[in-house]
Chains A and B, each alone.
Chain A
């Protein structure tokens, strides 16, 4: 122990860290952790790819053509919606709660990372997986389900980004009132159910009664899903696009604000 210089090794002011460098370091560790949590990886990767097929039989009973929809675009939006919910939302609730209960977040806060960086760095791998899934699923659908190229591709990016940000922000908020990793399986359910049924993930909101549909359009993930679907079908009017973009932006800001505002950094004792 004594042959090493214990102190005085640092050239003061040399090589200060950058936000990007800190995020990379944290994101990399978080990715290694994610890869070691087989259950979470399986759910995050397989559910968004497999679950849409369970939706398919139901679609046979719906007259999609009348709404200008096809089986391909409907399953595609289902896959991307499931990706928001499983790859990002639930896996991040799990990560935030686990790190908090292990006192990892508290320890991180003693270092140079800002609070926002800790939340963002922890979310990086999950958001990355969500983004990758959106790309893969889109390519697969285009190739296998003959959806063709998206008609309004410029709507896909804001739709997917907003969905990822909203899912991550709401995961931080959900983690705030989730005491253990196990109870996260319950506290995450409300948003899962509401989004699957009401945000156009398992079936398009276009086939709902009009009044119900207009309420459901205001749900957190509805606008991102609308943007993604609209990006493929090209059927959103300019007015509808603005509405969806505004709603998505509002939810993204609200989710991030609420997640940061009410986040708990230490376990309740």
Chain B
């Protein structure tokens, strides 16, 4: 077997996608995914996640750039790539009037080395639903049917476009467990999501897309590193921000006050928390709605959106000035 731990099964170089109207959805992105890795593409709606994944799946040809999936061009060398990949689109795509079993049978008939349909359906917990028509499935069940069919050929590379959208908490956990088990068995997974905790918990590496470009990428730890942690609380009656020790002494790098709620940003969370709590104890006051959290993907995500908007605003201002 051609197994190589460092083999990049997905390689993307300077990828661009332009739609008919001239809209540039993907504006030059590059990344690679190693075998057995879970890679997440994050981004707000319209950031270019689905546009990118569709190119990787070989559904459309990029305007510019190069894609290699398992060493092949997914659009031009469709026949070489498809038997080794599994795809779950963002939205269903199964005839409403077929039953679950009929849908699975059809897909199995079009899939090389397909595992038994009942086994694939059991993997996603649809065992009791074989005779149910697709139109009668819940949104979550339809997502799981889609996943089952993507797994029929035991793919080497699995593309999941928002796999847990529409699932309840339990279904989401089950899917995460399944994706981890697939990764542990050597499957390479590329997924898109707008659930930050999904990316944080699942992905080995991730990239945050913003307006068609990769704003930041790396392991979840790398992406959140350098992002401030947060502490927030309600000031007691009669107290004001100035009653706290000087913010610089607290290690605070930024703050907001909204009504009685104080939000502090810090890169030294332990120091900040200790000093604020010590102050509260000495002053004999209770800090209600106390919330202390270390840097998260959410902070990174919101930070990127903020910075870029600001960057744009200043760029526009410069244009106006010039």
Contact = CB atoms under 8 A, between A and B. Distances in A.
Contact of A22 (B110, B124, B153): B110
B89 interface: yes
B95 A104 contact: yes
Contact of B96 (A102, A111, A112): A102
B82 A112 contact: yes
B97 A114 contact: no
Contact of B93 (A6, A36, A104): A104
Contact of A6 (B98, B108, B112, B181): B181
A32 B186 CA distance: 37
Interface string A10-53: 11111111000110111011001100110000000000000000
A7 B112 contact: no
A107 interface: yes
Given A33-B98, A103-B91, A103-B92, A10 B115 contact: yes
A8 interface: yes
Interface of B: 1, 57-59, 78-79, 82-83, 87, 89, 91-98, 102-103, 105-113, 115, 119, 122-125, 151, 153-154, 174, 177-178, 181-182, 185-187
A107 B143 CA distance: 13
Closest 10 A-B residue pairs measured CB to CB? A25-B109, A107-B93, A7-B185, A110-B87, A103-B93, A29-B106, A10-B154, A16-B112, A10-B113, A6-B181
Given A4-B122, A104-B93, 8 more contacts: A1-B125, A2-B181, A6-B151, A25-B106, A25-B108, A107-B89, A110-B59, A111-B87
A11 B103 CA distance: 23
A187 B161 CA distance: 34
Contacts, number: 128
Contacts of B178: 1, 6
Contacts of A25: 105-110
A103 to B, nearest CB: 4
A112 B109 contact: no
Interface of A: 1-2, 4-17, 21-22, 24-26, 28-29, 32-33, 36-37, 98-99, 102-104, 106-114
B123 A6 contact: yes
A9 B115 contact: yes
Taking each of B91, B105, B154, which has the highest tally of chain A beta carbons within 10 Å of its own beta carbon? B154
Contacts of A112: 79, 82-83, 110-112
26 contacts: A1-B124, A1-B174, A7-B154, A7-B181, A7-B185, A8-B185, A16-B113, A21-B110, A25-B106, A26-B106, A29-B98, A29-B102, A32-B97, A32-B98, A32-B102, A102-B92, A102-B93, A102-B95, A104-B93, A104-B95, A107-B87, A107-B94, A110-B57, A112-B79, A112-B111, A113-B110
A133 B311 CA distance: 68
